[in-house]
């Protein structure tokens, strides 16, 4: 495979990682001299597809970037567009966007915990095999995933590649009866969500005590989803407009996925980062459940990400119930935008971490320039850092099969994307 050059055009190299991965290691005298996580799926260039399109086309187009977290792409886009146009969503729209996001967190986190992480931690090759011995747990996961899909469909018209999100709000509002039905389903699901937190916390997870920088949104009085400032465990606290002043994306020769650094160092985004940085923003009943696990937070064990996902499922249920208990059918489900020339920024918390968008528009609302920084690419350097630490802390003389399983477990723990996480890892080790 030939090396990929960074070319001097106004288009980022990749908008999303999708496909197989290969890991190359060079081991000398028990030390890793070279570690490269190769992502070689072709660039999709979504940013360039958006140039020349009208603003109202953007939310549905970016939803196609990811079939698992389309809500995140839509929400980051509509926030950026509304900022560029000087719009402020009304309280009903703001509430429903949080509800919409709750649905995505439920479906995505439930899928990852039960389909990808649990088989790794319990020693099964697949969820099918896991279900033979843990049928109740897998059924619980499917129920929670289905509930998340139902929430997304209620606002997005369908659960996969939803089309209901609009600049200014939504295409339609759920009826009072639909809202009551969702509320009842969420109340029934709350014990499942509580038990899932306890179950993930009881798993015999690998020991890990690493130093890493975490990055997430932080809001003044709520657990972050759609809004907030960008903060880090190293003291960063900035407006999302200042992203490029501190974060740097760059191309590495061995991957079509861009790597991202904060002040020239890898960093972590995602559920563990969010939880570590926003523990005090959890409602009391979620904090009490987390305290009951007996685990110490903030955590430096990357494998506690599976517990963090379960906690966010529980939070998603609690928050969705709160929002639906005060639901009222609006006079109109959206505000009509007035396009104008300008630049807008949006940053929301996708299941896998912060998703940053920037758009520039002309006076008619046509896209002049776009940029999307997904969480998967932001975690790439941190994944390589984690792989090196984990392998050197273990036994590099293990056979290739055992090392491959360990590496796949580390990578899947980040849930980089569905196909990247589930494809067989091509592991090549040069031992001398």
What are the pLDDT digits (tens) for 65-79?
Answer: 887 889 999 999 999
**Start-end of H helices in 20-134:** 46-50, 58-63, 70-85, 91-111, 118-122, 127-133
pLDDT bracket for residue 252 (50, 70, 90): confident
Tell me what the mean pLDDT of segment 243-256 comes to. Answer: 89
Do the domain assignments include residue 11? no
Distance CA 227, CA 33 (A): 41
The residues facing 229 across adjacent strands are 218
- Which carries the bigger pLDDT value, residue 176 or residue 37? 176
pLDDT at 5 over 50: no
Instruction: Show the domain range for 249.
Output: 21-431
Domain membership of residue 6 (yes or no) is no
pLDDT value at position 157?
A: 95
Is 15 inside a domain boundary? no
* CA dihedral angle for residue 106, residue 110, residue 112, residue 115, rounded to 10 degrees: -150
Q: CA-based angle 88:90:343, to the nearest 5?
A: 20
pLDDT band with cut points at 50, 70 and 90 for residue 19: low
pLDDT value for 402: 86
- Residue 31: name the closest of 314, 392, 427, 319 by CA: 392
324 in any annotated domain: yes
**Alpha carbons 81 and 367: distance in angstroms, whole number:** 10
Tens of pLDDT, residues 134-149: 999 999 999 999 999 9
Q: Which residues contact 353 (CB under 8 A, 6 or more apart)?
A: 215, 216, 268, 269, 270, 273, 274, 375, 378, 379
Query: Model-level pTM?
Result: 0.92
Residue whose C-alpha is closest to residue 365's, from 332, 343, 348, 346: 343
Q: Is residue 31 within 8 Å of 273, Cβ to Cβ?
A: no
Distance CA 267, CA 279 (A): 19
The Cα 388–Cα 392 span in angstroms is: 6
Assess whether pLDDT exceeds 80 at residue 128.
yes
Strands 237-238 and 169-170, by their bridges, are unpaired
Mean pLDDT of the region 290-305: 96
End-to-end CA distance of the chain: 24
User: Is 115 or 343 the better-scoring residue by pLDDT?
Assistant: 343
Average pLDDT over residues 39-43: 71
Q: What would the mean pLDDT of 191-203 be, rounded to a whole number?
A: 98
Q: Flag whether 224 is in a domain.
A: yes
| Residue 298, preceding peptide bond in cis (omega within 30° of 0) | yes
Least confident of 27-31, 58-62, 216-220: 27-31
Mean pLDDT value across residues 122-132 = 93
Tell whether 7 is covered by a domain.
no
Burial class, 320, CB count within 10 angstroms (exposed 0-12 / middle 13-18 / buried 19+) = buried
Q: Say how many CA atoms lie within 13 Å of 310 toward its Cβ.
A: 28
Q: Decide if pLDDT at 15 tops 90.
A: no
- Biggest CA-to-CA distance, the chain: 71
Give dist(CA 378, CA 268) in Å, integer: 7
User: Which of 112, 85, 103 shows the shortest CA–CA distance to 167?
Assistant: 85
Give me the half-sphere count of Cα atoms (radius 13 Å) on the Cβ side of residue 208.
23
**Where does the pLDDT of residue 429 fall: very low under 50, low under 70, confident under 90, or very high at 90 and above?**
low
Task: Report whether pLDDT(46) > 90.
Answer: no
**Is 219 part of any domain?**
yes
- Tens of pLDDT, residue by residue over 370-419, are 999 989 889 999 999 999 999 988 888 888 788 888 888 998 899 876 34
Return the pLDDT at 296.
93
| Residues paired with 265 in a beta bridge | 262
pLDDT of residue 20: 64
Q: How far is CA 375 from the centre of its chain?
A: 6
Residue 395 pLDDT: 80
- 192 or 259: which carries more pLDDT confidence? 192
Rounded-to-integer distance, Cα 291 and Cα 415, Å: 25
Task: Give the range among 44-53, 276-285, 348-357, 421-430 with minimum mean pLDDT.
Answer: 421-430
Phi, psi of 239 (to 5 degrees): -70, 150
DSSP-derived secondary structure letter, 37 = E
The residue with greater pLDDT, 362 or 2, is: 362
pLDDT at 420 over 50: no
Give the total number of structural domains in the chain: 1
What is the mean pLDDT of the segment spanning 305-319? 98
Tell me the two tokens of residue 376: 């998967």
Alpha helices in 86-175 (DSSP H): 91-111, 118-122, 127-133, 135-156
Contact 242, 379 (CB under 8 A): no
Structural contact between residues 367 and 394, judged by C-beta atoms closer than 8 angstroms: no
Neighbours of 230 (CB within 10 A): 23
Give the C-alpha distances (Å, rounded to integers) separating 283 from 52, 80, 105, 170.
43, 28, 17, 27
More confident residue, 417 or 261: 261
Which pLDDT does position 71 carry in this prediction? Answer: 96
What local confidence, expressed as pLDDT, does residue 304 receive?
Answer: 98
Average pLDDT over residues 236-251: 96
Any domain includes 345? yes
Tell me the average pLDDT of the chain: 89
Residue 91 token pair? 């309280």
CATH number of domain containing 290: 1.10.645.10
Give the model's pLDDT for residue 292.
94
């Amino acid at each position: 495979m030939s090396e990929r050059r960074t070319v001097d055009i106004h288009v980022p190299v990749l908008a999303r990682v999708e496909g197989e991965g290969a890991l190359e290691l060079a081991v000398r005298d028990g030390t890793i001299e070279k570690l490269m996580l190769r992502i070689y799926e072709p660039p999709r260039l979504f940013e360039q597809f958006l140039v020349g399109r009208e603003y109202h086309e953007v939310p549905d187009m970016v939803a196609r970037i990811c079939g698992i977290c389309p809500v995140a792409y839509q929400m980051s886009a509509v926030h950026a567009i509304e900022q560029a146009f000087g719009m402020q969503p009304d309280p009903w729209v703001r509430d429903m966007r949080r509800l919409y996001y709750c649905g995505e967190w439920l479906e995505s986190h439930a899928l990852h915990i039960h389909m990808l992480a649990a088989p790794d931690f319990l020693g099964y090759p697949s969820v099918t095999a896991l279900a033979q011995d843990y049928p109740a747990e897998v059924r619980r996961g499917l129920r929670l995933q289905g509930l998340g899909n139902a929430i997304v469909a209620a606002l997005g018209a369908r659960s996969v590649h939803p089309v209901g999100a609009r600049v200014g709000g939504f295409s339609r509002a759920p009826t009072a009866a639909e809202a009551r039905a969702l509320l009842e389903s969420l109340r029934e699901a709350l014990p499942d969500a509580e038990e899932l937190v306890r179950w993930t916390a009881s798993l015999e997870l690998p020991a890990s005590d690493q130093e890493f920088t975490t990055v997430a949104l932080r809001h003044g009085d709520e657990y972050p989803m759609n809004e907030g400032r960008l903060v880090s465990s190293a003291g960063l606290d900035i407006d999302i407009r200042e992203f490029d002043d501190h974060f740097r994306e760059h191309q590495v020769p061995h991957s079509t996925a861009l790597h991202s650094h904060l002040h020239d160092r890898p960093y972590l985004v995602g559920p563990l980062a969010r939880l570590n940085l926003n523990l005090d923003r959890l409602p009391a009943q979620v904090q009490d459940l987390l305290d009951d696990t007996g685990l110490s937070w903030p955590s430096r064990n990357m494998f506690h990400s599976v517990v963090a996902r379960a906690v966010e499922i529980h939070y998603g249920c609690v928050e969705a119930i709160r929002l639906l208990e005060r639901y009222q059918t609006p006079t109109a489900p959206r505000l009509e935008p007035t396009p104008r020339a300008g630049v807008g920024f949006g940053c929301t918390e996708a299941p896998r971490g912060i998703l940053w968008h920037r758009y520039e528009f002309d006076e008619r609302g046509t896209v002049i320039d776009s940029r999307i920084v997904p969480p998967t690419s932001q975690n790439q350097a941190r994944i390589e850092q984690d792989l090196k630490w984990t392998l050197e802390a273990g036994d590099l003389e293990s056979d290739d099969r055992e090392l491959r399983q360990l590496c796949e477990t580390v990578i899947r723990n980040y849930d980089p994307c569905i196909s990247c996480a589930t494809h067989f890892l091509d592991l090549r080790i040069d031992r001398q």
